[in-house]
Amino acid sequence: AAELARTAARSAGDLLAPPAPTRLGDVVPAPERVQPDPAADFTLTADAAIRVSPAGRDVAEQLAEWLRPATGFPLPVTDAPDADGVLVLTLSEAPLAAGPFDAARPAGTAGPVDAARPLDAARPAEPTAGEGGVGVDGLGAEGYRLDVTAAGVRVTAAAPAGLFHGAQTLRQLLPAAIERAAPVTERWAVPGGSIVDRPRFPYRGAMLDVARHFFPVEDVLRVVDHLARYKLNHLHLHLTDDQGWRIAVDSWPRLAGVGGITEVGGGPGGFYTQADYRRIVSYAARRHVTVVPEIDLPGHTNAALVAYPDLAPGKVPPPPYTGTEVGFSYVDPADERTYAFVADVVGEVAALTPGPWLHLGGDEAFKVPADTYRAFIERAQTLVAATGKTVVGWHQLAPAGHVDGRVLQWWGTNGDDPETADAVRRGARLILSPGNRVYLDMKYAVDTPIGHDWAGLIDVQRAYDWDPGTHLTGVPAEAVLGVEAPLWTESVTTLAEVEFMLFPRLPAVAELGWSPRSTHDWAGFRQRLAAHGPRWTAAGITFHPSPDVPWP
Ligand code: TNX
């Protein structure tokens, strides 16, 4: 009787309350499967608690940190995920109980979905475990399931990363005012229904060039937050270039001490101490973002040569460089000390980096003859492999011999690239960063105040409308590890300018990396993206009000 009374009261409430302002499918990146239930909207109230399994505690704490400022609610985090609660985060290797997805259909068949986001027929929901359940283990470490009913919200995943992505989805389903830093009066409604979601590609990233202009730790942490919102899971830091060396290396202290004090335009530069770098790495790790450090070799090394002229060809100390030309510098490939330098640097950087990757650069070494370049890269790859890390490099590495697991980051503008396709046949995997699609330093339009245009103008539709799975001729989708959007900073000097170049293009790239191809739809994406404008405004994030997007 009590249950009946509660249900009746709830229905009466539903009749009175307006629907949640956000629709369940209004998430960026688009979830794999969405099944709205408009009768099951949930409203977060001051008495809510977050219940979580012990291993998910840190995700629950972060969710509370996101929701407390605007709601002003205490949102205590407590154990006991099995008890009834309002916001429940559950880590489970076991099959999930049947939920709204499964009730209407036999196990293993496609369920009804949001008409706007049809099920990807080629990629059915993962092995339904037993009678009508979805196995979270089938969602991988990053997948999650989110169920919203009038009584509460439950996020279920096999690992903390999945819980984290599910919590980010929940954050997006609340009204935009949730992004405010101080309490506001609002009905904190969440649209009812279920989402089952997991990434298309394992590697989804962005690169920040901290070498052309230096960005302090706090700025980098904020960029990590931006990545994590959109389920990007890698931050590539371009740590070294002609204009500055940004990471302290104990065995070669002048690299940062001398090479770190310059930047484009003559500003003071700067560098990360090893403690600073560790702080970035652990802040990112808490947000399920892996840092990929890049030491660019053999070119883009003027700052290192200023610090250690013995590494320069001819041992001639070059002057510090604060311009924006590329391709003139290189470490001396004929001197054995160069390889000791490479070994020491990659050794220290590897030791500071828990993630599996170490990026060797390799781009634009125009002054090094092709066979010398190849031999240098092969030695450098071996030195990286000896640290236990997997080699990543710009696609100029392609002609060099394969080394276990190596990954090429393709930044070309023409998808016919036989050299890269050949490296893939020899075992390389690819990160796609097509210059004319995802280079975030390109201008949006002719009148964009900062940025380049050598790869063209890139507004949001251009960043969104391509397919990483088919972009390169002769490269199968299985060889594609994922996508990354690089931000070079020759013309970018402040955090606000970084954000201006990231938003709204970064979410477009995030969707290419995360969402199944079947959800790809420019008309729908621009609508979903538009709803994020008020979120960015509420969060104090600078963005370009692109005419491609129907902002509210
Ligand atoms: C090319 S892309 C570069 C960078 C520049 C960028 C400017 C790549 C691997 N190298 O050195 O900053 O163009 O867009």
Interface confidence, given as ipTM, is 0.96
Give the per-residue pLDDT at 418. Answer: 98
Residue 24, domain CATH: 3.30.379.10
Together in a domain, 270 and 249: yes
Together in a domain, 219 and 149: no
Query: Does residue 378 have an active-site annotation?
Result: no
Whether the CB-CB separation of 497 and 207 falls below 8 Å is answered with no
Q: How far apart are CA 333 and CA 544, in angstroms?
A: 43
> How many whole angstroms from its chain centre is CA 321?
31
The domain in which residue 30 lies consists of 2-197
Q: Specify if 418 maps to a domain.
A: yes
Q: How much of the chain exceeds pLDDT 90, in percent?
A: 86
Q: Specify if 539 maps to a domain.
A: no
pTM: 0.92
Instruction: Answer whether 484 contacts ligand 1 (Cβ < 6 A).
Output: no
Angle (nearest 5°) at CA 301 between 299 and 303:
165
DSSP at 482: E
Angle (nearest 5°) at CA 445 between 541 and 528:
50
Q: How far apart are CA 484 and CA 468, in angstroms?
A: 10
Together in a domain, 310 and 257: yes
CB atoms within 10 A of CB 35: 21
Together in a domain, 232 and 358: yes
Over residues 78-97, the mean pLDDT reads: 74
Together in a domain, 90 and 228: no
> Is residue 108 predicted with pLDDT exceeding 70?
no
Instruction: Answer whether 363 contacts ligand 1 (Cβ < 6 A).
Output: yes
Q: Specify if 536 maps to a domain.
A: no
Q: Specify if 464 maps to a domain.
A: yes
Burial class (CB in 10 A: 0-12, 13-18, 19+), 5: exposed
Catalytic residue among 61, 186, 364, 378: 364
> Is residue 385 predicted with pLDDT exceeding 70?
yes
Last residue of a domain, one of 151, 178, 197: 197
Whether the CB-CB separation of 501 and 461 falls below 8 Å is answered with no
Q: Which tokens in the block code for residue 403? A: 């080394």
Give the per-residue pLDDT at 15. Answer: 55
Give the per-residue pLDDT at 422. Answer: 98
Nearest CA owner, ligand 1 atom 5: 488
Q: Specify if 552 maps to a domain.
A: no
Together in a domain, 354 and 497: yes
Give the per-residue pLDDT at 121. Answer: 29
Together in a domain, 172 and 87: yes
Nearest CA owner, ligand 1 atom 4: 488
Over residues 65-84, the mean pLDDT reads: 89
Together in a domain, 158 and 228: no
> Is residue 352 predicted with pLDDT exceeding 60?
yes
Residue to substitute in 207, 330, 364 for testing ligand 1 pocket (most ligand atoms within 8 angstroms of CB): 364
Q: Specify if 545 maps to a domain.
A: no
Q: What is the residue-wise DSSP string for 264-321? A: GGG-----B-HHHHHHHHHHHHHTT-EEEEEEEESBS-HHHHHH-GGGSGGGPPPPP-
Give the per-residue pLDDT at 117. Answer: 33
Q: pLDDT band for position 107 (50/70/90)?
A: very low
Q: Specify if 40 maps to a domain.
A: yes
Last residue of a domain, one of 157, 173, 197: 197
Q: How far apart are CA 44 and CA 189, in angstroms?
A: 6
> Is residue 82 predicted with pLDDT exceeding 80?
no
**What's the pLDDT tens digit per position in 239-297?**
999 999 999 999 999 999 999 999 999 999 999 999 999 999 999 999 999 999 999 99
Over residues 32-56, the mean pLDDT reads: 95
Amino acid (1-letter code) at residue 536: W
Q: How far apart are CA 213 and CA 265, in angstroms?
A: 9
Instruction: Answer whether 459 contacts ligand 1 (Cβ < 6 A).
Output: no
Over residues 482-508, the mean pLDDT reads: 98
Residue 452, domain CATH: 3.20.20.80
Together in a domain, 115 and 254: no
Together in a domain, 211 and 317: yes
Q: What is the C-alpha radius of gyration for the chain, rounded to an integer number of angstroms?
A: 25
Whether the CB-CB separation of 73 and 46 falls below 8 Å is answered with yes
**What's the pLDDT tens digit per position in 148-168?**
999 999 999 999 999 999 999
**What's the pLDDT tens digit per position in 287-338?**
999 999 999 999 999 999 999 999 999 999 999 999 999 999 999 999 999 9
Give the per-residue pLDDT at 135. Answer: 54
Amino acid (1-letter code) at residue 21: P
> How many whole angstroms from its chain centre is CA 249?
27
Instruction: Answer whether 488 contacts ligand 1 (Cβ < 6 A).
Output: yes
Q: How much of the chain exceeds pLDDT 70, in percent?
A: 88
- The domain total for the chain is 2
Whether the CB-CB separation of 288 and 233 falls below 8 Å is answered with yes
User: Of all helices (H) and strands (E), which one includes residue 408?
Assistant: strand 407-410
Q: Is 518 helix (H, G, I), strand (E, B) or coil?
A: helix
Together in a domain, 387 and 267: yes
Together in a domain, 106 and 13: yes
Over residues 213-228, the mean pLDDT reads: 98
Cα-flanking dihedrals φ and ψ of residue 308, to 5°? -135, 85
Partners of residue 431 on adjacent β-strands: 409, 482
